[in-house]
Amino acid sequence: MATATTGYTLKCVPNGHPNSEEETTTYCTECGSVLRVDYDQPSEDLQYPLKNILPDPLKTHPTALKRLGRLSETYGADLWTKLEFEHPTGCFKDRGSYIEVQKARELEADAICLASTGNMAASVAAYACYFNIPCFVFVPEKTTEAKLAQATIFDANIIRIKGSFSTCEQLCREFAKSGNYYLAGDFVFREEGQKSFTYELVDQGGSDMDYIFIPVGCGTNFSAIFKGYKEMREGGLIDRIPKLVAIQPDQSSPVVEGIFKKEKIVKEQVQTMASSVAVPDPVDFYKVLEGIDQSEGMAFTVSEDEILDALKELAVTEGDFVEPAGALPLAAFKKHNEQFSGKKCLFVATGTGFKDTQVVTKHSLNSPVLSADLKKVISYVNSGFIGMQKKSWGKSRDTFMANLKMDKEHEQLYNDYVSKINKKGKTLSNNEIEVLQSLIFDEDTDLKYPVEVLDYKLIMRKHGLVQATVKLSLEGREVVSESKGVGPIDAVLTAIRTETDNVFPLVVENHEIDILSPDTDSLVTVTLTLRNGEQQWVSKGASPDTLEAVIQAFTKGLAIAMKGSHV
Ligand SMILES: *Cc1c(COP(=O)(O)O)cnc(C)c1O
Ligand SMILES: [Zn+2]
């Protein structure tokens, strides 16, 4: 059972200075360190530091405690997972947001604000929305679309910032002072919410774990789980605490490195696909240190390849699709397998794979778009592409497309593309080579191009208008076409269409631009959806230059459309 109580004090962790929550809910006013809720009385109930507690309006059931039967067999240990991604927003953070939002209301804040790598933004937005309190979220520019979509649908005020999570955090901390705002985040009341993990686990019969593997970013969840154990032990509900294992990617490991040095480290640069744990300055470092010391736990790092590997293995063998951070436990376990032989281990599956589908797209070969033609489908199935697509996952893929059965014409076409790109002084990365090959894979080799773009020029006008001058070769004639548009892509396409619409009219219904890497000369793929009457075509172009990719996609699309319509 959960009970609300006002019988507690906020104390800072290293010095025990008492603090008033009307003054601060983040850092000690005396020494600046993190705070913790210290209850006057141990209890048999889960205690929450609130005057009143409302039932969680979004969560309908505890997250599943599931045995990983196949993995247990493979690795000779008793392996379990707690599916924390079963929370309403797909991540364990809901446990903390549920309590933080109620605390913000109790303190009569005008709004909540927080910095987040995405999941906390989604989670606090959901609870703030339900409890009718405005919410400001500061997120780094790289936040995944799914996480942003969640914050958007729950009416958060989204502030996207150039820079890392730590930049967002500093800025948000300043912003919080500009009004009567509750600064949410990895602070004292979140820990109180997230400790319910332990109560739930014990309630489900999971009290006899030897090890609990926890992905660590700020360290708040780790320390919350540990606090749950301590309070359950003080309340006489359990008598032992499992060994807690903190895991970080080796590309972003200030906590793990700090554990070995016994002092807090700040890392300027963190680069990992596990974006939810990419935290340069881990707020709760000292709490993690304490949790590891007192539980006789340990700390590991894992590589990016090991994360990818574990993510795939969880999905394929056990049916659990997690985001990269959620794969850290299995990755660490596998790396130190012998150490855990025969032990009962719990992996905390922190977030769902739907949060970050980009990682999957990026690390496996794209499926080519085939024409609706059974012969083509069968030849595709027999080409070996699909088998290689499966094998391509997370491996170094240097020689990987070499085995693909491309016919002469397609090989020629591919070489043409590559030489054009090389002429721009660019060498293609492996990933770019694969994308290009899968794009060309289904291209018609006997297409007749009615139009060729010989040259183009852009002039910027007022109010974001762009004027394009395009020199075309249209059915053998040279013509110059001029047009204005909102932005360069619109201007160029409109100029081309002014002429080509006389031959075959096409409406550009949609364009998608995919930049493959953060490099300035990254290959860009452009996908256009084109329409004429009831008929629709999709066409792609690829080049390091976005406009050229657009032009390529359009001229090819026109060729495909005219061929398909027997013009
Ligand atoms: C926030 C988060 C973590 C890290 O939790 P901390 O409390 O910051 O240590 C791990 N995985 C996922 C999916 C998260 O959203
Ligand atoms: Zn203090």
DSSP for residue 351: B
Q: Does the Cβ of 288 fall within 6 Å of ligand 1?
A: no
Question: And the tokens for 326?
Answer: 């959620």
**Which ligand is closest to the CA of 147, given by its number?**
1
Q: Which residues make Cβ contacts (< 8 Å) with residue 561, sequence separation at least 6?
A: 504, 506, 530, 532, 535, 537
Rounded CA separation 271/304 (Å): 10
**Which ligand is closest to the CA of 31, given by its number?**
2
What does the pLDDT read at residue 405? 67
Query: For strand 78-83 and strand 65-67, is the pairing parallel, antiparallel, or unpaired?
Result: antiparallel
DSSP 298-330: EEEEE-HHHHHHHHHHIIIII---B-GGGGHHH
CA distances from 374 to 233, 367, 380 (A): 65, 16, 10
Rounded CA separation 470/277 (Å): 48
Q: Does the Cβ of 275 fall within 6 Å of ligand 1?
A: no
CA distances from 304 to 59, 282, 308, 326 (A): 33, 20, 6, 13
Question: And the tokens for 155?
Answer: 């009416």
Question: And the tokens for 80?
Answer: 């379990």
* 488, 470 Cβ separation under 8 angstroms: no
Q: Does the Cβ of 323 fall within 6 Å of ligand 1?
A: yes
pLDDT (tens digit per residue) in 411-442: 888 888 888 888 888 888 877 887 888 788 76
What does the pLDDT read at residue 404? 65
Q: Does the Cβ of 220 fall within 6 Å of ligand 1?
A: yes
| Phi, psi angle pair for 26, to nearest 5° | -120, -75
What does the pLDDT read at residue 372? 85
CA distances from 516 to 390, 404, 419, 513 (A): 20, 22, 19, 10
Neighbouring C-alpha atoms within 13 Å toward the C-beta of 427: 2
Q: Does the Cβ of 283 fall within 6 Å of ligand 1?
A: no
Beta strands per DSSP E along 22-69:
35-39, 46-48, 65-67
Task: Give me the residues near ligand 2 (ion), CB cutoff below 5 Å.
Answer: 12, 15, 17, 28, 30-31
Distance from residue 27's CA to the centre of ligand 2 (Å): 8
Distance from residue 220's CA to the centre of ligand 1 (Å): 8
What does the pLDDT read at residue 402? 54
**Which ligand is closest to the CA of 146, given by its number?**
1
Rounded CA separation 13/27 (Å): 10
Q: Does the Cβ of 86 fall within 6 Å of ligand 1?
A: no
Rounded CA separation 331/333 (Å): 6
Residue 464: helix, strand or coil by DSSP? helix
Q: How far is CA 325 from the centre of its chain?
A: 9
**What percentage of the chain's residues is helix, strand, coil (to nearest 5)?**
40, 25, 35
Place of tokens 């020689």: 399
What does the pLDDT read at residue 395? 56
Place of tokens 């247990």: 72
Distance from residue 559's CA to the centre of ligand 1 (Å): 49
What does the pLDDT read at residue 10? 97
Q: Does the Cβ of 96 fall within 6 Å of ligand 1?
A: no
Q: Does the Cβ of 325 fall within 6 Å of ligand 1?
A: yes
Q: Does the Cβ of 91 fall within 6 Å of ligand 1?
A: yes
Distance from residue 17's CA to the centre of ligand 2 (Å): 5
Among the atoms of ligand 1, which is closest to the Cα of residue 216? 9
Which among 92, 291, 49 has a CA at the least distance from the CA of 186?
92
Distance from residue 274's CA to the centre of ligand 2 (Å): 32
DSSP for residue 91: B
Among the atoms of ligand 1, which is closest to the Cα of residue 84? 13
Rounded CA separation 537/516 (Å): 23
CA distances from 464 to 459, 470, 494 (A): 11, 19, 16
Ligand 1: residue whose CA is nearest its atom 1: 276
Distance from residue 323's CA to the centre of ligand 1 (Å): 11
CA distances from 565 to 274, 297, 309, 501, 558 (A): 47, 68, 46, 14, 10
Distance from residue 9's CA to the centre of ligand 2 (Å): 13
* 372, 334 Cβ separation under 8 angstroms: no
Residue-wise burial string across 173-191, b where 16 or more C-beta atoms lie within 10 A, e elsewhere: bebbeeeebbbbbbbbbbb
One-letter-per-residue 3-state SS of 504-549:
CCCEEEEEEEEECCCCCCCCEEEEEEEEECCEEEEEEEEECCHHHH
Q: Which residues make Cβ contacts (< 8 Å) with residue 408, sequence separation at least 6?
A: none
**Which ligand is closest to the CA of 10, given by its number?**
2
Domains of the chain listed by start with CATH number: 65-87+191-353 (3.40.50.1100), 364-440 (no CATH), 451-564 (3.30.160.270)
Among the atoms of ligand 1, which is closest to the Cα of residue 214? 10
Ligand 1: residue whose CA is nearest its atom 13: 351
Handedness of CA 264, 270, 273, 275 (dihedral sign): positive
pLDDT (tens digit per residue) in 178-219: 999 999 999 999 999 999 999 999 999 999 999 999 999 999
Place of tokens 């744990």: 277
Q: Which residues make Cβ contacts (< 8 Å) with residue 522, sequence separation at least 6?
A: 432, 515, 516, 544
Distance from residue 277's CA to the centre of ligand 1 (Å): 6
What does the pLDDT read at residue 398? 40
Which among 213, 208, 216 has a CA at the least distance from the CA of 82?
213
Distance from residue 23's CA to the centre of ligand 1 (Å): 27
Which of the residues in the chain have pLDDT under 50? 396-399
Neighbouring C-alpha atoms within 13 Å toward the C-beta of 253: 18
Place of tokens 């060498």: 427
Q: How many residues does the chain have?
A: 567
**Which ligand is closest to the CA of 29, given by its number?**
2
Rounded CA separation 297/289 (Å): 9
